[in-house]
Amino acid sequence: MADSLTLAFLDKLWRMPFSGESLEKAKYGILDYIASAFAGRADAGVMKLIRAADEEGGRPLAPVLFHGCRVNRGQSALINGFMGHALDYDDVHAEVRGHPSTVILPALIALGDRGGDGRRFLEAYIVGVEAMARIALALSNEHYERGFHNTATAGALAAAIAGAHYLDWPAERAALALGLAATQAGGLRVHFGTETKPLHAGLAAAAGIRSLLLAEADVQGSRASLDGRLGYFAVFGQGEERARAELLREDAVPRIVSPGLWHKLYPFCSAAYFGWHAAEQLGRIPLDRIEAIEIAFTGRSDAALIHQRPLNGEEGRFSIEYIAALILSGQGIRAGDFQRVPIDGEIRAYMDRMRRTNVMDEPPGVRYTRITVTLTDGGTVTAVGDRPKGSPGNPVTEAELERKFEEVVTGPNAAAIREQVLRLDEARDVRPFIGLLGEG
Amino acid sequence: MADSLTLAFLDKLWRMPFSGESLEKAKYGILDYIASAFAGRADAGVMKLIRAADEEGGRPLAPVLFHGCRVNRGQSALINGFMGHALDYDDVHAEVRGHPSTVILPALIALGDRGGDGRRFLEAYIVGVEAMARIALALSNEHYERGFHNTATAGALAAAIAGAHYLDWPAERAALALGLAATQAGGLRVHFGTETKPLHAGLAAAAGIRSLLLAEADVQGSRASLDGRLGYFAVFGQGEERARAELLREDAVPRIVSPGLWHKLYPFCSAAYFGWHAAEQLGRIPLDRIEAIEIAFTGRSDAALIHQRPLNGEEGRFSIEYIAALILSGQGIRAGDFQRVPIDGEIRAYMDRMRRTNVMDEPPGVRYTRITVTLTDGGTVTAVGDRPKGSPGNPVTEAELERKFEEVVTGPNAAAIREQVLRLDEARDVRPFIGLLGEG
């Protein structure tokens, strides 16, 4: 086994050092996941999954966050994974090309009844993000472009690895769970724009849990599932050699620190973030001064924004028109704007003056959204959004994340949850904390 | 949706006619699955999965076959799928390049509490085999050769399709479940030779059940998951066009009839079947007349036969030496020989005289195993096995399948089960039949 890539990768992860900075990043990652999940807690899809879990039944060992009920571990991972990603409000990671926290943290929460201290929980999360970023890099962009959804395909493996680390398994045993996760990896981007996109996060977390439980039951499988001609990277990626370089690369800084998690201040699709930045620069323009509004996207970067005339705030998550109208009207953006609430007449009037264009002659890698407002007096005003909050060089600060948390998370436990997250490295046992998250 | 490949495929399946011949083949397929599962009912892996299911808990809606206990539907599909394939005793299908019945039937059994008549059960099974064969052909051999295990990757979709047909869903709704299955499709051949190989059958059946339950819970996803540039066949196969030809091909005869299911008379790896055929031609040769035995395989066709000196009957499933020794000694083969029972001294003495060689200069497609016995008197006898029982042109007959069933399935219900299978098309309600299968 000495030259097994699988075991060498796990050995490397198992020997990771944990700096104070990485532990801080992990705390804010947890804080942001909790805020995102809280905002999605009553999403229609969450309620469907809770009903389905109730039909299945099972030992109530793990929480449905913020619902005051417990379900079996797999269902907990499924529902909390969906919940965190339901509004597309959760973090992303450029190397993952997907959403790490809403896969890894639900898997760890589903194991919370096993005990363990807060430091162990943070470390397992850091290891999970590290694993998911390296696996996704090793798969290469071609994997995503072929049609796989990294959140799911890399996520199942990362969830199993994080869980095995949390359970303090030796790398040899983690390799068994990893193999069981690799053989369950799947997830197709053809489902983007439907509830199955956030479902992928939950399915990946649940596959990770299933793999750990099967390994605990002593079901035997390959412990070298990433290796060789038939291994995971040969089948899903560009082969073992390319994978080896990414999986075993020596880095001084963990991936949760650099490039780090990108956080969102608002629960709308990241494809609208550039246009949001442009609108913010324009500020309020009264409707009666506006003749027409052109929104120009580089390339097809508006592809994910499937609603040009959304019917409610939920559809508005995938509409630059809705977001621009909220800002140009002076209403501004609040988290509640993206629930299934009707859109008022003034916002609709702004949207009715908008049309999209695409700028196809920019070089690859150049990305912006430009908003041009033609005024009734014949003049025009224009702004280019190319560095929205959350993009590289314009990160969301810890203070802004705390404000997001405060704005989003309501109820009697909000302050206690925030305080416990920010002191999680001091917790002797995570169970009270996870119990608090589960309360309705 | 009219030109959706996904919906066109389901429409075609939903309009399948059911000949008397196909219904008869389905009955014998069920009979053989039951015999294979009965033989594997106490396999170590089955016992592990039952303990894990007990840990998870859940509404006891569906049986663990022959164990007198009920578990949740997903666990029932998982365990019964594993059980049917545990000994590699179950049917295979050349177009599937894998094991259809041990995926499709456990999914249907897991839905058995919903009622439905026997004819519907048989038809859903026929549709499932048809779907799995067409999907696997559409994926092409390259899919298997890349490292995917068709039993799992095509199986999850076939299980969802068969289940939706059994539940009498319209094709539009079946398309939703199919999409949820497609996005869970996975399974790597890197696990061959471990318990995770039969686990794949169970995981595929369970993914099919999960897809149906999520669709019932109204979780939304793509209903055109097989279509286009990001669809299942673009991602896992050779693209939509190649898939379209296979999925929609006009055939007069269903795939369960032609090429039909291949059945095994003995629970050992099909890679040993050619050598078994050679040994059968040699018959008994007393040990004291034998100097040496050479077993020659075309190419690397012995790759799956991982035990040259097996320690017990279970390892003997993957040993041509064990099988040849049973025949040359005159003991003959019985199903019980492949349990975890010690191997007696005479058989070991035969095996000790054997060695393998590989014939590397035959053209592709030529496959045989040749056994050459050098006698103590200086002479040699030789035989070539190229048409073992079960291979094309030498099928297992219905009478032989009934004999397999009688030899394997013991206990007070055996005769009643056999009778009910062979009259399943007359059953008004499958629940009593499935209840009988579940009894310990």
- Inter-chain contact A231–B199, Cβ cutoff 8 Å? no
A185 and A146, same domain (yes or no)? yes
pLDDT digits (tens, 9 = 90+) for B190-235: 998 789 999 999 999 999 999 999 999 999 999 999 999 999 999 9
Q: What is the 3-state secondary structure (H, E, C) of chain B?
A: CCCCHHHHHHHHHHCCCCCHHHHHHHHHHHHHHHHHHHHCCCCHHHHHHHHHHHHHCCCCCEEECCCCEEECHHHHHHHHHHHHHCCCCCCEECCCCECCHHHHHHHHHHCHHHCCCHHHHHHHHHHHHHHHHHHHHHHCHHHHHHCECHHHHCHHHHHHHHHHHHCCCCHHHHHHHHHHHHCCCCCEHHHCCCCHHHHHHHHHHHHHHHHHHHHHCCCCCCCCCCCCCCCHHHHHCCCHHHHHHHHHCCCCCCCHHHHHCECCCCCCCHHHHHHHHHHHHHCCCCHHHEEEEEEEEECCCCCCCCCCCCCEHHHHCCCHHHHHHHHHCCCCCCHHHHCCCECCHHHHHHHHCEEEEEECCCCCCCCCEEEEEEECCCCEEEEEECCCCCCCCCCCCHHHHHHHHHHHCCCCCHHHHHHHHHCHHHCCCCHHHHHHHHCC
Distance from CA of A374 to the nearest CA of B (A): 38
Average pLDDT over residues B322-342: 90
| Residue B262: closest CA among B37, B101, B104, B40 | B101
Distance from CA of A123 to the nearest CA of B (A): 27
Q: Domain tally for chain B?
A: 2
pLDDT digits (tens, 9 = 90+) for B3-36: 799 999 999 999 999 999 999 999 999 999 999 9
Q: What is the pLDDT of residue B341?
A: 86
* CB-closest option in B57, B148, B221 to A194: B221
- pLDDT grade, residue A135 (50/70/90)? very high
Q: What is the pLDDT of residue B1?
A: 43
The residue of chain A nearest to residue B233, with distances taken between CA atoms, is A147
- Quote the domain boundaries for residue B329: 270-385
Distance from CA of A424 to the nearest CA of B (A): 29
| Residues in chain B closer than 8 A to A196 (CB atoms) | 179-180, 183, 219-222
- Inter-chain contact A214–B52, Cβ cutoff 8 Å? yes
| Residues in chain B closer than 8 A to A179 (CB atoms) | 190-191, 196
pLDDT digits (tens, 9 = 90+) for B145-182: 899 999 999 999 999 999 999 999 999 999 999 999 99
pLDDT digits (tens, 9 = 90+) for B88-120: 999 999 899 899 999 999 999 999 999 999 999
A66 and A9, same domain (yes or no)? yes
Count interface pairs A-B at CB distance under 8 A. Answer: 175
Residue A328 has pLDDT above 80, yes or no: yes
B313 and B402, same domain (yes or no)? no
The residue of chain A nearest to residue B147, with distances taken between CA atoms, is A230
The residue of chain A nearest to residue B214, with distances taken between CA atoms, is A52
Q: What is the pLDDT of residue B390?
A: 82
- Inter-chain contact A219–B146, Cβ cutoff 8 Å? no
- pLDDT grade, residue A1 (50/70/90)? very low
A219 and A160, same domain (yes or no)? yes
pLDDT digits (tens, 9 = 90+) for A116-127: 999 999 999 999
- Selected for mutation to probe chain B from A6, A82, A188, A240 (highest B CB count within 10 Å) is A188
The residue of chain B nearest to residue A180, with distances taken between CA atoms, is B196
- Selected for mutation to probe chain A from B190, B232, B235, B236 (highest A CB count within 10 Å) is B190
Residue B124 has pLDDT above 80, yes or no: yes
- Could you tell me if residue A362 is inside a domain? yes
B250 and B284, same domain (yes or no)? no
The residue of chain B nearest to residue A51, with distances taken between CA atoms, is B217
Q: Report strand pairing: A290-298 vs A369-375.
A: antiparallel
- Selected for mutation to probe chain B from A76, A212, A219, A236 (highest B CB count within 10 Å) is A219
B339 and B425, same domain (yes or no)? no
- Could you tell me if residue A390 is inside a domain? no
The residue of chain B nearest to residue A82, with distances taken between CA atoms, is B219
Q: What is the pLDDT of residue A308?
A: 94
B290 and B242, same domain (yes or no)? no
| Residue B212: closest CA among B247, B190, B237, B184 | B184
* CB-closest option in A72, A187, A225 to B190: A225
The residue of chain A nearest to residue B76, with distances taken between CA atoms, is A56
pLDDT digits (tens, 9 = 90+) for A67-85: 999 999 999 999 999 999 9
The residue of chain A nearest to residue B218, with distances taken between CA atoms, is A48
| Residues in chain B closer than 8 A to A200 (CB atoms) | 183
Region class of A187: left (phi > 0), else alpha (psi between -120 and 50), else beta: left
B377 and B401, same domain (yes or no)? no
Distance from CA of B120 to the nearest CA of A (A): 25
Q: What percent of chain B has pLDDT over 90?
A: 85
- Inter-chain contact B221–A182, Cβ cutoff 8 Å? no
Distance from CA of A73 to the nearest CA of B (A): 8
pLDDT digits (tens, 9 = 90+) for B385-395: 998 888 767 88
Average pLDDT over residues A308-326: 93
| Averaged pLDDT of chain B | 94
Q: How far apart are the first and last CA of chain A?
A: 47
Angle at A414 between CA A412 and CA A417, to 5 degrees: 120
Average pLDDT over residues B323-331: 97
The least confident of A266-275, B73-82, B282-291, B331-340 is B331-340
Calculate the CA B22 to chain-centre distance: 18
- pLDDT grade, residue A185 (50/70/90)? very high
- Inter-chain contact A191–B45, Cβ cutoff 8 Å? no
A381: CATH: 3.30.1330.120
- Inter-chain contact A189–B152, Cβ cutoff 8 Å? no
- Inter-chain contact B186–A185, Cβ cutoff 8 Å? yes
Average pLDDT over residues A243-256: 95
* CB-closest option in A213, A217, A230 to B189: A230
The residue of chain A nearest to residue B185, with distances taken between CA atoms, is A186
Q: What is the pLDDT of residue B392?
A: 67
| Residues in chain A closer than 8 A to B48 (CB atoms) | 217-219
| Residues in chain A closer than 8 A to B149 (CB atoms) | 183
* CB-closest option in B191, B194, B232 to A188: B232
B129: CATH: 1.10.4100.10
A326 and A379, same domain (yes or no)? yes
| Residues in chain A closer than 8 A to B194 (CB atoms) | 220-222
Distance from CA of A283 to the nearest CA of B (A): 37
- Could you tell me if residue A124 is inside a domain? yes
Q: What is the pLDDT of residue A306?
A: 80
The residue of chain A nearest to residue B143, with distances taken between CA atoms, is A235
* CB-closest option in A58, A190, A234 to B147: A234
- Could you tell me if residue A364 is inside a domain? yes
- Inter-chain contact A56–B73, Cβ cutoff 8 Å? yes
B202 and B313, same domain (yes or no)? no
A209 and A331, same domain (yes or no)? no
Residue B2 has pLDDT above 60, yes or no: no
Q: What is the pLDDT of residue B386?
A: 92
Helix or strand run (H / E) with residue A294: strand A290-298
| Residues in chain A closer than 8 A to B58 (CB atoms) | 56-58, 72
A131 and A233, same domain (yes or no)? yes
